[in-house]
């Protein structure tokens, strides 16, 4: 992987980080989906499922790193509807990148940064 591409993807991942009112850092899965090059939500959920299994095997409680949430999205008729999303910790993002589809354009790119800044699993 070219160094400039990794740097660019790392910046994009970091730019999509959010914080709860309590200061906890998280990402939304629907944002990460596009950053990792997945065009279909269902395909991305396969990587999330593998990442949840890896999390469970490594010891941390899965709900501590993968929290199901809903998100309102705008529709063309100036109305909104709720869609499923997942709040992810840095560790969850790392596991998704590590367990992602090798055919995805970018699924393995942000791993070094996600790993280097992640806190030890709970």
Q: Give the DSSP H/E element, type plus range, for residue 22.
A: none
The token pair at 9 is 């993807």
Report pLDDT for 118.
Answer: 47
Q: Where are the alpha helices (DSSP H) in 1-122?
A: 3-15, 29-35, 41-58, 62-65, 90-98, 111-117
Q: Report the predicted TM-score, pTM, of the whole model to 2 decimal places.
A: 0.75
Residue-level pLDDT, tens digit, the chain, 122 residues: 566 656 566 667 788 899 999 999 999 999 999 888 899 999 999 999 999 999 999 988 999 999 999 988 888 788 888 999 999 999 999 999 998 877 665 544 454 455 545 454 55
Which residues neighbour 72 within 8 Å (Cβ) at sequence distance 6 or greater?
80, 81, 82, 83
Report pLDDT for 75.
Answer: 84
The domain segmentation of the chain, as residue ranges, is: 3-117
Burial class (CB in 10 A: 0-12, 13-18, 19+), 96: buried
Report pLDDT for 45.
Answer: 95
How far is Cα 92 from Cα 51, in angstroms, rounded to an integer? 7
């Amino acid at each position: 992987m070219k160094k400039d591409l990794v740097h660019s993807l790392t910046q994009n991942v970091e730019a999509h980080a959010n914080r709860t009112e309590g200061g906890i850092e998280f990402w939304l899965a629907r944002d990460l989906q596009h950053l990792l090059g997945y065009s279909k939500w269902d395909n991305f959920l396969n990587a999330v499922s593998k990442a949840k299994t890896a999390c469970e095997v490594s010891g941390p409680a899965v709900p501590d790193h993968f929290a199901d949430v809903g998100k309102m999205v705008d529709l063309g008729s100036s109305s909104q509807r709720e869609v499923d999303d997942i709040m992810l910790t840095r560790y969850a993002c790392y596991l998704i990148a590590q367990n992602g589809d090798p055919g995805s354009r970018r699924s393995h790119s942000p791993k070094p940064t996600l790993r280097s800044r992640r806190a030890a699993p709970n």
